[in-house]
Amino acid sequence: MDAAIFIDKDGTLIYDIPYNVDPDLVVIRDNSIEGLRMLCERGFKLIVITNQCGVACGYFGEEDLYIVEEKLRSLLEPFSITLSGFYFCPHYANGIIHEYAVDCFCRKPMPGMLLHAAEVNDIDLSNSWMIGDILNDIEAGARAGCKTILINNGGETEWQTGDFRIPTMICSNINEAADCILNYHYV
């Protein structure tokens, strides 16, 4: 089984522009590329895990997210960074599109996307990490059995505590997180 780095998209991997599906506005956050490249070189699978309630709210369709995925892949490819997966939850209980307006097990902070990605990609969750900029990301990773890193970049605004909401580590960016992960695994 392989180890993975599960990465939240908006606010962690790319700059957060609410409900953005315009590929021209998708930009990788500063201080990320070198860390992602090092994690790939060490054999970690990189998998994006993202809530996308804009589908349930009627702002865009699932097909728009595949365009965003392709943009991400094209931005990372010149640096020899490959995504092993891109998983999104289109659900939101308060949405207006009936088939998506549900409570689900895949919407973070629940671990459904990580568990599904682990099954599809033969991932050992106990040797994997979830990196995100809010405590819902941390909770999803912890519930799935991963170690977790909170990127403390101002994305978290609620700071609601709980049993699964304490990150293994707190870092400033993905490059720093990669250093911590590699030192954690190889010391």
Cα(50)–Cα(7) distance, integer angstroms: 8
Known catalytic residue: 163?
Answer: no
- How many C-beta atoms surround the C-beta of residue 39 within 10 A? 24
Which of the residues 10, 64, 133, 137 is marked catalytic?
A: 10
Catalytic residue among 2, 8, 133, 137: 8
Which residue's structure tokens are 């990773």?
A: 141
Residue 10 annotated to the active site: yes
**Mind telling me the catalytic residues?**
8, 10
